[in-house]
């Protein structure tokens, strides 16, 4: 998935050791390594791929652990920034390139799996992210892990969510995906969404489609920006297909959060949790 992204920046080296299975979930680990590898490639200027590398190394770490390192020969991370790279929305990339959520999501996923993630970097030489995961014992691999050894879930608060999408089937799907962790209200009409908020309803997060016949997500945003700016600031936009020039400009404005349709359930859950954790409860 990342070969196109990496190719113009560096060689991709797989230094895979002989490691046992770990306690994890394939699709979530996929999200973690996708972001780490894309970050690594983006840290290396284009054009000198023959002299740079992105190296993924797996190794056994003591009796209970496995490490995966993603190392690059890129620009490195200065000391004053390295403390902040795992913060949601921290990005040094231009608007439209990075949302600054990648590492925040990686951190959350790895913590939930009972592992850890760390970084070391030398400016001008490169950066190495190290992920440590817990080895799955044979029993754990077949049956569920014992309760005492289960990864501690990261405490998160339940959010009040409003989902706005003109496709009823999508509203239902999103509700199914999010309702276990959050209180979800869905509406198929953006006017109805605006009316709820104008009537005084407050949400921790609003998930809105961008292209709807009645009123676009952008129009809903402008309406809310006047009626209840603190609610407008809590919007996540779902976009699918080609964007108009205005749509692209809107989505790429600083601080705006969006997710491309179609998305995976886990990606939506992670995004919602990360944004919720990064924002305060509404007044
Ligand atoms: N391998 C790396 N080398 C240098 N800087 C890095 C590296 N990985 C992350 N960073 C720094 O950390 C910041 C945050 O990374 P993160 O993945 O959270 O967000 P992003 O890549 O900017 O945006 P997104 O992943 O949401 O598209 C980056 O903007 C960059 O400044
Ligand atoms: Mg990233």
Ligand nearest to the CA of 98: 1
H or E element: which one contains 102?
A: helix 102-112
Residue of 93, 95, 252, 277 best suited for mutating to test ligand 1, as the one with most atoms within 8 Å of CB: 93
- The finding on whether 275 has its CB within 6 A of some atom of ligand 1 is no
Q: For residue 43, report the distance from its CA to the centre of ligand 2, in Å.
A: 10
Q: Residue 50, Cα to own-chain centre: how many angstroms?
A: 31
Contacts for 234 with CB less than 8 Å, ≥ 6 apart? 203, 204, 205, 206, 275, 279, 282
| Strand, helix or coil for residue 260 | strand
d(CA 227, CA 208): 17
- The finding on whether 127 has its CB within 6 A of some atom of ligand 1 is yes
pLDDT digits (tens, 9 = 90+) for 170-183: 999 999 999 999 99
What count of other Cβ atoms lies within 10 Å of the Cβ of residue 259? 20
The closest residue, in CA terms, to atom 17 on ligand 1 is 102
**Contact status, residue 114 vs residue 108, Cβ threshold 8 Å:** no
d(CA 136, CA 150): 11
Q: Which of 149, 151, 162 is nearest to 224 (CA)?
A: 162
Look at residue 97 in the predicted model and tell me its pLDDT: 76
Q: Hey, CA dihedral for 237, 239, 244, 248, is it positive or negative?
A: positive
Look at residue 145 in the predicted model and tell me its pLDDT: 43
pLDDT digits (tens, 9 = 90+) for 63-99: 999 999 999 999 999 999 999 999 888 899 887 777 8
């Amino acid at each position: 998935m990342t070969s196109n992204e990496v190719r113009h920046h560096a060689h991709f080296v797989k230094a895979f050791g002989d490691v046992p299975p770990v306690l994890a979930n394939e699709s979530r680990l996929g999200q973690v390594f996708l972001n780490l590898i894309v970050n690594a490639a983006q840290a290396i200027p284009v054009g000198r791929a023959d002299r740079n590398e992105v190296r993924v190394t797996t190794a056994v770490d003591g009796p209970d652990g496995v490490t995966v390192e993603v190392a690059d020969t890129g620009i490195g991370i200065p000391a004053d920034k390295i403390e902040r790279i795992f913060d949601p929305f921290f990005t040094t990339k231009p608007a439209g390139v990075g949302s600054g959520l990648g590492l925040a999501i990686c951190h959350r996923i790895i913590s939930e799996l009972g592992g850890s993630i760390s970084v070391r970097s030398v400016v001008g030489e490169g950066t190495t992210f190290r992920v440590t995961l817990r080895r799955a014992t044979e029993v754990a691999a077949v049956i569920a892990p014992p309760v005492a050894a289960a990864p501690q879930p990261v405490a998160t608060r339940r959010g009040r969510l409003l989902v706005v999408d003109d496709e009823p089937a999508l509203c239902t799907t999103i509700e199914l995906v999010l309702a276990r962790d959050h209180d979800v209200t869905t509406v198929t009409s953006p006017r109805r969404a605006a009316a709820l908020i104008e009537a005084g309803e407050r949400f921790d997060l609003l998930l809105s489609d961008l292209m709807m016949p009645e009123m676009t997500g952008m129009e809903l945003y402008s309406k809310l920006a006047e009626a209840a700016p603190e609610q407008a600031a809590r919007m996540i936009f779902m976009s699918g297909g080609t964007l108009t020039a205005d749509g692209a400009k809107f989505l790429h404005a600083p601080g705006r959060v969006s997710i491309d349709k179609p998305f995976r359930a886990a990606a939506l859950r992670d995004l919602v949790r990360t944004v919720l954790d990064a924002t305060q409860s509404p007044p």
